[in-house]
Amino acid sequence: MLTAAEQAERCAAGLHAHWRTQCGYVAGGEVAEHDGLLVTATRLPDETLNVAFAPDAVSDPAAALDWFEGWFRTRGLKPGIEVRVGEQPALEALLAERGYSVVVRRPAMALHPVSLPGVAVPRASVRAVGSDADLAAFQAIQAEVFAMTPEVTEAFLPRAAVETPGVTLLVGSYDGVDCATSAVSVSAYGAGIVGVATLPAYRRRGLGRLVTAAAVHAGAGADLAWLYPSAMARRLYEGLGFRALDETQVWVSP
């Protein structure tokens, strides 16, 4: 069994590995590293799809932030960085001093060991994305739930995502209507559960639990499953056995 601290480290490393994978299948995606910082940018016109992390100790926060800001701005992107709360106080203090603000704070949650009871919802089913029609359904749901334009969604979730080893996209339907999604991104650090979404008209029917469980099962073989949910969704995942470990917060430039 992994300790809580070890699980938290695996969650963070899994998140970073997932973003590296995403930048690999998005045309124009870039990854760069400098003094403890990791930049993962899809270069798509959506702030949430271009972000940096601080996976390692930063020896010179001022110089590292100068590099990070320059890297983003030379590409026409707004700087944003996700930092584990309390892990790098000097870096967080400098971000605040430069006028950055925290726009979201979310827990790292893990399921370890990976054990889930069967989840069934009457009149609902889940299938893995295979055909172009399946992919279009996945993209359309993601676009509506996460307020992305169809063009950005198609670029962020191309056919190459379906063909990437370790990545499985899933679509859930209710009464034959495609209305929910989830995905799993498997790396050496575990199975990352991402892209969980349900169309507003189909919420409160258990579809979120259904597609999350399907994603966990699609990552079979991993000894840990991780995710970073919104505050609204936290209770759903706790009901499936996930436990919060630590928190990250996303800082964006003024």
- Do residues 10 and 110 make contact, with C-beta atoms less than 8 angstroms apart? yes
Residue extent(s) of CATH 3.40.630.30 domains in the chain: 124-222
Rg (CA), the chain: 18
- Across 104-109, average pLDDT: 96
For residue 72, what pLDDT is reported? 96
The answer to whether residue 125 scores a pLDDT higher than 90 is yes
Of the candidates 158, 168, 153, the residue with the CA atom closest to the CA atom of residue 216: 168
Condensed to tens digits (0 to 9), the pLDDT of residues 69-93 reads 999 999 999 999 999 999 999 999 9
Q: How far is residue 128 from each of residues 13, 82, 97, 193, measured CA to CA in Å? A: 25, 30, 46, 14
The answer to whether residue 232 scores a pLDDT higher than 90 is no
Phi, psi for residue 188 in degrees, rounded to 5: -65, -15
What CATH architecture does domain 124-222 belong to?
A: 3-Layer(aba) Sandwich (3.40)
What distance lies between CA 147 and its chain's CA centroid? 16
Condensed to tens digits (0 to 9), the pLDDT of residues 126-139 reads 999 999 999 999 99
Mean of the per-residue pLDDT values for the chain? 97
Judged by DSSP in three states, 36 sits in: coil
Condensed to tens digits (0 to 9), the pLDDT of residues 176-231 reads 999 999 999 999 999 999 999 999 999 999 999 999 999 999 999 999 999 999 88
Burial (0-12, 13-18, 19+ Cβ within 10 Å), 108: buried
